[in-house]
Amino acid sequence: MMMMMMMMMMMMMMMMMMMMMMMMTTTTTTPTTTATTTMTTTTTMMMMMMMMMMMMMMMMMMMMMMMMMIMMMMMMIMMMMMIMLMMMMMMMIMMMMMMMMMMMMMMMMMMMMMMMMMMMMMMMMMMMMMMMMMMMMMLMMMMMMMMMMMMMMMMMLLLLLMMMMMMMLMMMMMMMMMMMMMMMIMMMMMMMMMMMMMMMMMMMTMMMMKKMMMMMMRMTMTTTTTVTTTMTMTMMMMMMMMMMMMMMMMMMMMMMMMMMTTTTTTPTTTATTTMTTTTTMMMMMMMMMMMMMMMMMMMMMMMMMMMMMMMMMKTAVERRLMHLALDE
């Protein structure tokens, strides 16, 4: 609204000014005496001044109004804020009061309850004491008698139990020991057997190789053929060996598993079982190690064979060359 008013005012002022100017121009251009013209101009000027003043006044008034309005608004807001605050404060105080009251009430109630309880307890205690005194005398005698009897009985029972337990334990231990021993022996036997078999196999292979080598040397074949044949034969042998090894390993593993199961399923104490299992595990580990070693040995053998082949080839070639040279 204010803005609109201002705009209107401005427009009016502009209009006025325009009018004044027009008047001035008209007055000045008319063909009259100088005195009259001047007078008219002065009057117009005065009029203009008046108008200006009026406008200014109006503007001032408007400004004042605006200011007043703003002030009023501010005041109103302030007042509202104050009231709100006051209300809040009041509410807070009220709440506090209420809380206090509640607390007090609670405390009072608690106190009352406590008092009542105490009284009751006291009464009860008194009664109980009286009763107890009476009862105790009666019971004491009975208890003594009972205790004596019980002690005697218990001692006997305990002794018996102890004896039984000891016997059981001893038996268990013996059994376990026996089992362990048996297992160990079995394992050892198996190991020995395996070793023997391996050795035999090795020996056989070696012998075969030697024979083959000799044969090759003796025969008058080309180098390439000899090499190829030997290689193939060796490879075959190696493969066979490997297969055998694998089979052995499988057998071992199976045996181990069986042993483990047997040990675990026997109705013995936990400690013993664990011990047996651990031992079996150890055995298994040992077996694995052995297998690994064997494998390594095999690899080494293969390498050696290869080397031998190379050497053979070289020698054969040299010999042939020599022969050729001699012939020439």
State mean pLDDT over 140-148: 73
Residue 115 tokens read as 């008092």
State mean pLDDT over 295-316: 73
Whether 29 has a pLDDT exceeding 60, the answer reads no
pLDDT score for 301: 73
Summarised one tens digit per residue, pLDDT across range 189-232 is: 877 777 777 777 777 777 776 776 677 666 655 566 666 666 66
Summarised one tens digit per residue, pLDDT across range 246-258 is: 676 667 666 666 6
Whether 112 has a pLDDT exceeding 70, the answer reads yes
Cβ(9)–Cβ(55) below 8 Å: yes
Share the mean pLDDT of the chain.
Answer: 73
Residue 124 tokens read as 């009860």
Residue 130 tokens read as 């009286």
Phi and psi at 288, nearest 5°, equal -60, -45
Residue 49 to residue 138: CA distance in whole angstroms: 131
pLDDT bracket for residue 32 (50, 70, 90): low
pLDDT bracket for residue 286 (50, 70, 90): confident
Cβ(216)–Cβ(229) below 8 Å: yes
Cβ contacts of residue 69 below 8 Å, gap of 6+?
none
Residue type, position 31, single letter: P
Summarised one tens digit per residue, pLDDT across range 228-238 is: 666 666 666 66
Cβ(171)–Cβ(269) below 8 Å: no
Summarised one tens digit per residue, pLDDT across range 56-75 is: 777 788 788 888 888 888 88
CA separation, residue 228 to residues 40, 67, 233, 237, 262 (Å)? 143, 118, 9, 14, 51
pLDDT score for 308: 74
Whether 139 has a pLDDT exceeding 60, the answer reads yes
DSSP secondary structure of 207-269: HHHHHHHHHHHHS---HHHHHHHHHHHHHHHHHHHHHHHHHHHHHHHHHHHHHHHHHHHSS--
pLDDT score for 266: 53
pLDDT score for 261: 56
DSSP secondary structure of 19-84: HHHHHHHHHHHSS--HHHHHHHHHHHHHHHHHHHHHHHHHHHHHHHHHHHHHHHHHHHHHHHHHHH
Residue type, position 190, single letter: M
pLDDT score for 256: 64
pLDDT score for 260: 60
DSSP secondary structure of 274-328: HHHHHHHHHHHHHHHHHHHHHHHHHHHHHHHHHHHHHHHHHHHHHHHHHHHHHH-
pLDDT score for 304: 76
Cβ(253)–Cβ(157) below 8 Å: no
Phi and psi at 269, nearest 5°, equal -70, 160
Residue 1 to residue 7: CA distance in whole angstroms: 10
pLDDT score for 242: 67
Residue 76 to residue 311: CA distance in whole angstroms: 117
pLDDT score for 264: 52
pLDDT score for 200: 78
Whether 274 has a pLDDT exceeding 60, the answer reads no
State mean pLDDT over 4-33: 66
pTM of the model: 0.23
DSSP state of 118: H
What per-residue string of b and e applies to 284-300 under the rule 16 or more CB within 10 Å gives b? beebeebbeebeeebee
Summarised one tens digit per residue, pLDDT across range 76-102 is: 898 998 898 888 888 888 888 888 888
